[in-house]
């Protein structure tokens, strides 16, 4: 198992943040998006928020790579539709590369 931590910001508007959170409640998660996450080798995913900053923890199996996930997403019209939809809620971190949403975080401490 590998663990990855990523961050992205939300547009800092309370109504958009509330809607984004509503869309991510277990009863509202689109089944095809959940399935695509699992098929990519992600075994657990958690998203946390403080203010408009979000932090994601992903646990993966040995089949997972970011390149494989990107290729699978590009070939899945439902995932593309979802990513385009949620981009109105999200904004890139100031240091993100062109077109990058979620940015990998570096571990700086472990107990």
pLDDT tens for each residue of the chain, 111 residues long? 999 999 999 999 999 999 999 999 999 999 999 999 999 999 999 999 999 999 999 999 999 999 999 999 999 999 999 999 999 999 999 999 998 999 999 999 999
Per-residue tokens: 105: 């975080």
- DSSP-assigned states of every residue in 80-99: HHHHHHHTTTEE--TTPPTT
Adjacent-strand bridge partners of 15: none
Domains of the chain: 2-104 (3.30.70.100)
pTM: 0.90
């Amino acid at each position: 198992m590998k663990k990855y931590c990523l961050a992205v910001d939300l547009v800092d508007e309370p109504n958009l943040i509330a809607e984004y959170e509503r869309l991510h409640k277990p009863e509202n998660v689109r089944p095809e998006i959940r399935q695509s996450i699992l098929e990519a080798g992600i075994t657990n995913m958690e998203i946390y928020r403080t203010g408009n900053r979000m932090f994601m923890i992903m646990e993966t199996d040995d089949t997972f790579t970011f390149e494989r996930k990107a290729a699978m997403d590009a070939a899945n019209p439902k995932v593309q539709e979802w990513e385009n939809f949620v981009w109105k809620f999200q904004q890139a971190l100031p240091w993100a590369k062109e077109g990058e949403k979620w940015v990998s975080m570096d571990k700086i401490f472990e107990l």
